Amino acid sequence: MDVAADGSGTVTEQRLYQLIRQPGGIAERTFSIEFLDPAVSAYAFTFG
């Protein structure tokens, strides 16, 4: 919900961002996150 169709997004404040949403059944998936700004840090991920 917080990313564009091409996968890009903007961090605007300290909060949890929803990076992916997959329709259909549960399956094993891999994704990566690349921060272009060195000032951005990731501290928590939630799944479920």
- Give mean pLDDT in consecutive 10-residue pieces for the chain, a chain of 48 residues: 82 80 82 82 71
Residues of the domain holding 38: 1-21+29-48
- How many CB atoms lie under 10 A from the CB of residue 28? 4
The structural domain count of the chain equals 1
With H, G, I as helix, E, B as strand and everything else as coil, classify residue 31. coil
* pTM across the whole model: 0.49
* Residue 48 confidence (pLDDT): 65
Number of other CB atoms surrounding residue 15 within 10 Å: 7
